[in-house]
Chains A and B, each alone.
Chain A
Amino acid sequence: MRITLRVWRQPGPEAQGEFRTYEAPEVSEDMSFLELIDAVNEDLLEKGEEPIACDSDCREGICGMCGVMINGLPHGPSEGTATCQLHMRKFQDGDLIEVEPWRAAAFPVIRDLVVDRSAFDTIIESGGYVSVSTGSAPDANEILVPKSASDAAMDAAACIGCGACVAACPNSAAQLFTSAKLAHLNLLPQGQPERWDRVEIMVDTMEEFFGSCTNHGECEKACPKEITIDFIAMMNADYVKSKFKNRRRLGQKKAG
């Protein structure tokens, strides 16, 4: 089939960007979307034009490296699918496909379709872990985890950190990303000792970069792992509780 691509080209972080149009006359429907970009890039190289910069790595929907806006939808039209797993059979012969990088103030464009998502790492660094140094763990079966808690935690932990939630949000909020990590750890017994500190510091860090949630639910629909916004509600509830729990305890000289 024949596809016309309108792609955002921007040589560098400070440079002006613009759309350029490319024709792909022979697209197989078994191709993935990124393979289409590969093919266009081979073409460009032949013509002496610099290829489109576009992040991707595992190409099986788990590393979270890829992700672009395709026709105004993060990761394109397939639900629960990352850009690399989107196949051209979802499109029709003669389609025009518009491709744009994620847009958010906290995700500056590096080049073409590549953005900087380091703010996500900063959020995890602020508290998205269980403090357990290597070697100090008890026998794994000494920590009993109800199957339901484990399953729910796994649902949340499936997040691949691609940034589609932020890209989808009209407010560029990172609530879904942050709440998924919080829910993963806070639902498990292992996460309880640090639960309230974790939620407070991670929410505060998130708000240094991103917008606020207005409960549109766009993030949930864009998420390639179909993570639910119920986790955002859990984060909101935990955040207010943390303000009580983190107050100075009786006999404590200084609030931790």
Chain B
Amino acid sequence: MQLNSSVPPGPIADKWENHKFSLPLVNPNNKRKFDIIMVGSGLAGASAAATLAELGYNVKVFCYQDSPRRAHSISAQGGINAAKNYQNDGDSVFRLFYDTVKGGDYRSREANVHRLAEVSVDIIDQCAAQGVPFAREYGGLLDNRSFGGAQVSRTFYARGQTGQQLLLGAYQALCRQIAKGKVEMHTRTEMLDLVIEDGIARGIVTRDMLTGEIRSHSAHVVVLGTGGYSNTYYLSTNAMGCNNTGTWRAHRRGAFFANPCYTQIHPTCIPSSDEFQSKLTLMSESLRNDGRIWVPKQADDPRSPDLIPEAERDYYLERRYPAFGNLVPRDVASRNAKSMIDVEKGVGQRKNGVYLDFSDAIARDGVQLITEKYGNLLDMYERITGEDPYKVPMRIYPAPHYTMGGLWVDYNLMSNVPGLFVIGEANFSDHGANRLGASALMQGLADGYFVLPYTIGGWLSGLLNTKPLPVDHEAFRKTEAEVADRINGFLSCRGSRSADWFHRELGKILWNYCGMARTESGLEKALSEIPALRSEFEKNLRVLGTNEQLNQSLEKAGRVADSIDLAELMCQDALHRRESCGGHFREESQTEEGEAKRDDENFTYVAAWESQGPGHAAALHKEPLDFENVALTQRSYK
């Protein structure tokens, strides 16, 4: 199958403008005739749902939490990028575009990234008008900071809670539409399958998580804003409920999954403390602006950090990358931390961390300024570890955090399944092989506020005077029966192990073989271990209780089943991509200094995988990537 990215012709700076003009419009009076299903209420989902409802469409929103305000976008701390150039330091749309393409290690679609940079400025306007309490200068103007290795200050932030505030802004806009009756909100409702008829997405099948009711919902278009798949690793910074069911079910029904091996391991998380650990906590990357990262020069150094003299400390990032120092991009920082721990220089009880030291910053700026900037983060660290970061250096270690891969979408954010759109982290398009800091919030809101509301009209305008497929249609009945069968399967398995146990085992396999560094033999090992785990899961899963109640083990079982399948695809993709790029580091492909080495000749494409059904390896489709505006170079942060 030929993948058509639908990127409009013309110079890159004009593509979006021209495309907006050429997209067919839906007359305001006709908008109310269209029904839209939105799965997920995070930054992308809530902003899109609110905007579409404002335009006049009828929107049904689904989320698994008890309120749309709790989507995991809320945990984003650092900030949101925008090419406002308020700081007069040489930022521009083109520079943001350039940085994002380069930061993504030349594996993203140029046109999408340029559009992202263009609309970034509108996002800030919109959010400020909603009352998002962005940080301000004394004059009342917006404050910015430099973030995640950017050479300009283009990051807007609201203390350490930017994600929370942006999500609440979108949530409040959504609430306004719920009150107006334009949005029908379904909380504690999980999408369990996508319904396709004639090759077109027609609706979804959901389970009411309180009553177990399986129900079909039909619409003119289905939009997935279901987030990323970091939780496949079990220990990640994602919320406990984050899951892959939405995207994976869509994939099973025909949507291509693009670049699943592109996962981002965030460098500054709190190392796990014991076997019971259920998730990892991220500390904002902004800490690297003032904190210095080091390990003892001597392996297995038993001394406490304050007893290690300056000369015996290795500030390895500053040593290896004098220009960027502690601010190198996330993938580089993470890999370097791993390399230190691999040679037994890890610190802490479990030797699983590196130091992030604020003592120099405190000596330079004083406790008060540091508290003002990072107080809430340092407090959080103390709560979790019981150590005072003002006195003892913090211990940090990388953790799975964000996934750049996702369902394949074209320039209009529509997947290869007509009528199925995918927005936010759930799609693949904008970050290439590595995401820059403060760009996730930007992309989620760009898709939701300013891209989807335009492009969805292009699809809907062709459906005028058509009704959605009725929910008693054969296609819905069949899918409902399949969903019920799956649930019955979990309940009737009656094995001896919890879904969590399988998830933990899966996480170990993925982290060891498809984590920060990957090898051919490791991935092959993973690809033999995952099917074994799956057959154990099918034989030995234990779920108690019934479907007709709030049953958290049952929910988990379905999610873990989908994660096992996705993990296999991640490894398959990682195995096939015999190059290192961004978050995907193949040990076979590195420079003499141990840096990631791309293979542009053979791998400058998007790997989009088509499901061949359970038990069959997915088929690969390639979307070649053309770089007309940014020259491909090896990234260097020396």
Contact = CB atoms under 8 A, between A and B. Distances in A.
Contact of B278 (A35, A130, A188): A35
Contact of B549 (A12, A78, A118, A160): A12
24 contacts: A28-B273, A31-B274, A41-B498, A50-B544, A51-B553, A58-B70, A58-B240, A59-B240, A60-B75, A117-B67, A118-B66, A121-B67, A121-B185, A125-B176, A128-B175, A129-B172, A129-B175, A137-B122, A140-B127, A140-B129, A157-B133, A161-B69, A185-B131, A190-B130
B125 A140 contact: yes
A116 interface: yes
B518 interface: no
B475 interface: no
B386 A188 contact: no
Contact of A118 (B67, B139, B164, B173): B67
A171 B175 CA distance: 27
Given A147-B137, A147-B140, A157 B168 contact: yes
B453 A32 contact: no
Contacts of A131: 176
Nearest to B51: A134
A61 to B, nearest CB: 7
A158 to B, nearest CB: 7
Contact of B552 (A11, A51, A141): A51
Contact of A137 (B125, B159, B187, B542): B125
Contacts of A120: 67
How big is chain B's contact interface, by range? 35 or more
A139 B386 CA distance: 44
B637 interface: no
B94 to A, nearest CB: 20
A143 B128 contact: yes
Interface in B149-173: 158-159, 161, 164-165, 168, 171-173
Nearest to B545: A50
A137 B75 contact: no
A117 to B, nearest CB: 6
Chain A, interface SS category: loop
B172 A124 contact: yes
Contact of B66 (A48, A116, A146, A185): A116
Across the A-B interface, give the 6 residue pairs with the lowest CB-CB distance, nearest first.
Answer: A144-B140, A137-B129, A129-B172, A30-B273, A140-B128, A154-B133
A175 interface: no
Interface residues of A, number: 81
Contact of A111 (B281, B496, B549, B553): B549
A39 B346 CA distance: 28
A64 B69 contact: yes
B74 to A, nearest CB: 5
Contact of A58 (B140, B239, B496, B553): B239
A124 B552 contact: no
A134 B544 contact: no
A178 interface: no
A135 interface: yes
A129 B68 CA distance: 14
A138 interface: yes
B619 interface: no
Interface stretch (A81-89, A209-217, A227-235, A240-248): A81-89
B605 interface: no
A121 B175 contact: yes
Interface of B: 47, 50-51, 54, 65-72, 74-75, 84, 86, 122, 124-131, 133-142, 158-159, 161, 164-165, 168, 171-173, 175-176, 178-179, 185, 187, 210, 237, 239-241, 273-274, 276-279, 281-282, 379-380, 383-386, 449-450, 453, 496, 498, 500-501, 542, 544-545, 549-550, 552-553
Nearest to A156: B133
Nearest to A82: B383
A168 interface: no
Contact of B550 (A32, A110, A145): A110
Given A118-B187, A129-B175, A31 B276 contact: yes
B164 A53 contact: no
B70 A130 contact: no
A150 B386 CA distance: 32
Contacts of A114: 550
Given A28-B276, A134-B47, A190-B130, 10 more contacts: A31-B274, A57-B65, A59-B240, A62-B75, A65-B66, A65-B70, A128-B172, A129-B173, A140-B84, A151-B133
A221 interface: no
Contacts of B142: 140-141
Contacts of B84: 140-141
A64 B164 CA distance: 11
Contacts of B65: 57, 63, 65
B152 to A, nearest CB: 17
Nearest to A26: B276
Nearest to A48: B544
A28 B131 contact: no
Contact of A85 (B137, B187, B383): B383
A49 B544 contact: yes
A191 interface: yes
B79 to A, nearest CB: 14
